[in-house]
Amino acid sequence: MMRKPLFGALVLGLTAQFSVHAAEPKLYPTGPSEDSAFIRFVGALDAPIEVRAGKDGRIELAAHDSTTWQAVKAHSPLGATLVHGGQNQAVDVSVQPGEFVTVAALPDDKGGWTAGIGRESPTDFSAFKVSLGLMNMAEHCSNAAIKIAGKDVAIVEDVAPKGMKRRQVNPLSLSVDLYCGGQRSGDPVNLGGLRAGERWTLLVHPARDGARLIPILDRMP
Amino acid sequence: MPASALMGLTLLVIGDSHLATPSYLIGTLPDRLVEEGAKVHTIGVCGTNPADWVKPSPGDCGMSERTGAETPVRQESGAKTTAISELIAKDKPNAVIVVMGDTIGAYKNPEFPKSWAYQQTSALTKAIAATGTACYWVGPGWGSEGSRYGKTFARVDELNKFLSENVAPCTYIDSTKMAQPNEWKTLDGQHYLGGGYKKWANAIADAIISNPPK
């Protein structure tokens, strides 16, 4: 993982622009009046990208790297610009309470890149299980599925483009194959030894010859 | 008579308002733990959420601190948490006991804010786990319904289920297993009368004694 010093500046930028969810009520009765909202950025390209937000917020993400989840104010319009190879992609999103939004720089199937947005509102939090999510950002990958590598054992299946599904598994060492429309796509992806409490997002993105999978370990702020 | 499982152990107890007023749990739990032979340091900062103990954070309704079975010292203004890493480094406890749950119940919110609660609990359990210290997490008891805090038995049940699933590696102690709803009378729906705090303290101590830190 490559984390540049610019990360702090990005957080500050998001804070300034989006009023990051920092002021929780303190007095009894507490607990927020609505659930938290989170956003993160993923560089799914084979090269670094830059993320800019607000006046001075910017971060460089290494290839296949992601930021931690950042708490943001729900319902508010959030803007960011993804920069790579002299090309800018502006993104505007709003995050709902309880929602986790992933903004990714994705390769397209023509050798270029584009920005993608994935949303989920998970409820399967557990310190005893591993949560595996399949987030399909590949338009041409129908009925995305992941199976145990080399076996016809589905872990998550039938995820439509722009869709997302999660399931809990026990802690174990795992390699997975990606399937699109019933056909295996790409090489097996080794997730290593999964530990209890971890949450993973397996991001499906377009590639020149089909679709590929990038594993992202979800990290809370 | 065999020695207590807590004999010779050092215990650090942190939490919210239940430990922030001398006549509440901070007045009963340390007594029992000390009776069992433990060295105990207790700090309660009213209104704090779990993540407030990861780094120093203000509390808006006072705090109390107690060394062993000495008289608790109540502080009305300037209440502030101390980072759990700092407390652990200073006290070198065999175990941390977190008494917290009512502050994340969001009792007046029709939806339990799971994502926020997950962020709160995981922040504190990770900070404790990073030190390698054993820990227990004591969740909220039933209290009573219809109070100004909006506490309901259904939400207490939901909250306990959430905490039992999300505070590992801390050992979870479910306070709703210690009494029936309405059995321990409350002042205000959340905070118990003296008898309730005495029973709660004994039940917490018994739970730790039956599963002492390794």
Q: What is the pLDDT of residues A125-151, one digit of tens each?
A: 999 999 999 999 999 999 999 999 999
What is the predicted pLDDT for the residue at A175?
A: 98
- Position A1 pLDDT exceeds 90: no
Answer yes or no: is pLDDT of A6 > 70.
no
Contact B11, B39 (CB under 8 A): yes
For A28, the closest chain B residue by CA position comes to B47
List, for residues A164-198, the tens digit of each pLDDT value. Answer: 999 999 999 999 999 999 999 999 999 999 999 99
- Give A19's pLDDT tier (boundaries 50, 70, 90): very low
Q: Which site among A35, A39, A131 would you substitute to test the B interface, given the most B Cβ atoms closer than 10 Å to its Cβ?
A: A35
The half-sphere exposure of A148 on its side-chain side, counting CA atoms within 13 A, is 7
For chain A, the average pLDDT equals 89
Can you give the pLDDT at residue A30?
Answer: 59
If one looks up domain A1-121 in CATH, what number appears? 2.60.40
A1-121 with A123-221: one CATH topology? Answer: yes
What's the ipTM?
0.91
Is the pLDDT at A2 greater than 80, yes or no? no
Secondary structure tally for chain B: helices H, strands E: 5, 7
- Does B93 lie at the interface with A, CB-CB under 8 angstroms? no
- The Cα of B60 is separated from the nearest Cα of chain A by a number of Å equal to 6
d(CA B105, CA B109): 9
Domain ranges of chain A: 1-121, 123-221
> What percentage of chain A has pLDDT greater than the value 90?
80
Q: Do B166 and A27 touch (CB under 8 A)?
A: no
How far is the C-alpha of A65 from the C-alpha of A85, rounded, in Å?
17
Q: Which pair of tokens denotes residue B87? A: 């407390």
**Mean pLDDT, rounded, for B131-146:** 96
Start-to-end Cα distance in chain B: 22
Confirm or reject contact between B143 and chain A (CB < 8 A): no
The residue of chain B nearest to residue A32, with distances taken between CA atoms, is: B106
List, as own/partner pairs, every contact residues A166-169 make where C-beta atoms lie below 8 angstroms and the sequence separation is at least 24, other chains included.
A166/A120, A166/A122, A166/A124, A166/A131, A166/A132, A166/A133, A166/A134, A167/A124, A167/A131, A167/A132, A168/A124, A168/A126, A168/A129, A168/A130, A168/A131, A168/A132, A169/A129, A169/A130, A169/A132, A169/A194
For residue B179, being part of any structural domain is answered with yes
Three-state SS at A141: coil
For range B197-205, the mean pLDDT: 98
Q: How far is A23 from chain B (nearest CA, A)?
A: 12
Look at A36 and B116 and tell me if their CB atoms are within 8 Å. yes
DSSP A67: P
Residues B58/B99, Cβ–Cβ less than 8 Å: no
Nearest-angstrom CA–CA distance, B170 and B127: 11
**Which of A32, A123, A126 is the closest to B116 by Cβ?**
A32
| Candidate from A15-24, B78-87, B199-208 with smallest mean pLDDT | A15-24
Q: Is the pLDDT of residue A96 over 90?
A: yes
The pLDDT of residue A22: 37
In a domain, residue B1? The reply is no
For residues A146-167, give the mean pLDDT.
97
Min Cα distance B65 → chain A (Å) is 19
User: Is B113 within 8 Å of A98 when comparing Cβ atoms?
Assistant: yes
Q: What percent of chain A has pLDDT over 70?
A: 86
Nearest to A115 by CA among A52, A72, A159: A52
The shortest C-alpha distance from B75 to chain A (Å) reads: 16
- Compute the nearest-CA separation of B109 from chain A (Å): 6
What pLDDT, on the 0 to 100 scale, is given for residue B6? 97
pLDDT at A177: 98
Mean pLDDT for the stretch of residues B95-113: 95
What average pLDDT does this structure show over B95-99?
98
Which residues in chain B have their CB less than 8 angstroms from residue A197's CB? 122, 168
**What superfamily in CATH does domain A123-221 come from?**
Domain of unknown function DUF5300 (2.60.40.2890)
User: CA torsion sign, B169 to B170 to B176 to B177?
Assistant: positive
Looking at the predicted structure, is the pLDDT value of residue A18 above 60?
A: no
Region B124-150: what's the mean pLDDT?
Answer: 95
Q: Note down the domain range covering B42.
A: 10-210
Mean pLDDT along residues A113-120: 96
Nearest CA in chain B to A30: B103
Q: Does B56 touch chain A (CB under 8 A)?
A: no
Average pLDDT over residues B139-159: 94
DSSP 3-state of A214: strand
Does the pLDDT of residue B213 top 80, yes or no? yes
Instruction: Report percent pLDDT > 90 for chain B.
Output: 95
Give the whole-number percent of chain B exceeding pLDDT 70. Answer: 100
pLDDT band per the 50, 70, 90 thresholds, residue A32: confident
CATH assignment at residue B42: 3.40.50.1110
B-chain residues near A31 (CB < 8 A): 103-109, 113, 116-117
pLDDT for the residue A20: 38
Per-residue pLDDT, A171: 97
**Is B76 inside any structural domain?**
yes
The answer to whether residue B143 scores a pLDDT higher than 80 is: yes
Average pLDDT of the segment spanning A201-217: 94
Comparing C-alpha atoms, which of A220, A39, A218 is closest to residue A117? A39
Between chains, do A30 and B162 touch, taking CB under 8 Å as contact? Answer: no
pLDDT of residue A209: 85
Asked if residues A90 and A98 have their Cβ atoms less than 8 Å apart, the reply is no
Please report residues of B whose CB lies closer than 8 A to that of A30. 47, 49, 103-104, 106
Nearest to A26 among B60, B119, B149 (CB): B60
The one-character DSSP state at B104 is G
pLDDT at A192: 97
Q: For chain A, which residues lie within 8 Å of any Cβ of chain B, measuring from their own Cβ?
A: 24, 26-38, 71, 97-100, 122-123, 125-128, 196-197, 220-221
